[in-house]
Amino acid sequence: MQFPAAQIALIIGGKIDGDPTVAVSSFGKIEEATKGQLAFLANQKYEEHLYTTQASVIIINETQELKQTIAATLIRVPDAYSAFATLLSKYQEIASQQLIGVQEPSYISKTAKLGEKIFIGAFAYLGENVCIGNHVKIFPNVYIGDNVKIGDHSVLHPGVKIYHDCVIGKNVTIHAGTVIGSDGFGFAPQADGSFKKVPQIGNVVVEDFVEIGANAAIDRATIGSTLIKSGAKLDNLIQIAHNVEVGNNTVIAAQVGVSGSTKIGNNVMIGGQAGLAGHLQIADHSKINGQSGVSKSIKTPNSAVTGSPAFEYTNALRSQAISRKLPEIEKRLKELENLVKQFMAEKV
Catalytic residues: 242
- Are the CB atoms for 268 and 247 separated by under 8 Å? yes
DSSP letters spanning 42-61: -SGGGGGGGGT---SEEEEE
Quick one: which of 175, 181, 177, 214 has its CA closest to 200? 181
Residue 81's Cβ-side half-sphere holds a number of Cα atoms within 13 Å equal to 3
Cα 81 from Cα 117, distance rounded (Å): 31
Which H helix or E strand runs over 93?
A: helix 80-96
Helix (H, G, I), strand (E, B) or coil at 119: strand
DSSP 168: E
Q: What are phi and psi of 106, to 5 degrees?
A: -155, 160
> In which order are the strands placed within the sheet that holds 149-150?
113-114, 131-132, 149-150, 167-168, 203-206, 225-228, 245-246, 263-264, 281-282
Question: Residue 21, Cα to own-chain centre: how many angstroms?
Answer: 37
Neighbours of 4 (CB within 10 A): 17
Tell me the pairing of strands 3-4 and 23-24. antiparallel
Residue type, 252: I
Residue 178, Cβ neighbours under 10 Å: how many? 23
Q: How far is CA 342 from CA 59, 159, 331, 332, in A?
A: 72, 76, 17, 15
Q: Using CA atoms, how far apart are residues 294 and 288, in angstroms rounded to an integer? A: 8
User: Taking a C-beta distance cutoff of 8 angstroms, is the pair 145, 166 a contact?
Assistant: yes
